[in-house]
Amino acid sequence: MNTINQMITSSDFQKQLYKYMDEVSSSREPKFIMRRSKPEAVLLDLETYQDMLAILDQLEDRVRYEEAVQTLTGQKGVALSTVKEQITSSRK
């Protein structure tokens, strides 16, 4: 990805919104929206955004799992079902 080609001004973005939405949807390459020559926002296609949310959710689950294991480490013979139960209850 050539980042320079993905940078657009906010005024150009306003004028050509649908064009940029189509480009992002078809290429799956983000557009960086600039204001006063500084990056201000990013336009992503929906699938990429959803993928990012799914990865974030998996990472959060992993952190919860690690915390549960650390909490239960002091106990002998901790069953996996106990760890899973603790993770599930922490999501509620």
pLDDT computed for residue 64 by the predictor: 82
Best-predicted range by mean pLDDT (1-15, 16-30, 53-67, 72-86): 16-30
CATH dotted code for 3-44:
3.40.1620.10
Distances 37 to 9, 29, 40, 47, 72 between C-alpha atoms, Å: 8, 20, 9, 28, 51
Of the pLDDT bands very low, low, confident and very high (cuts 50, 70, 90), residue 84 is: confident
> What's the average model confidence in pLDDT over 84-92?
69
With contact defined as beta carbons under 8 Å apart, do 87 and 68 qualify?
yes
**What pLDDT digit, counting tens, does each position of 37-69 carry?**
999 999 999 999 999 999 988 888 888 887 787
**What pLDDT digit, counting tens, does each position of 66-82 carry?**
778 777 776 555 566 77
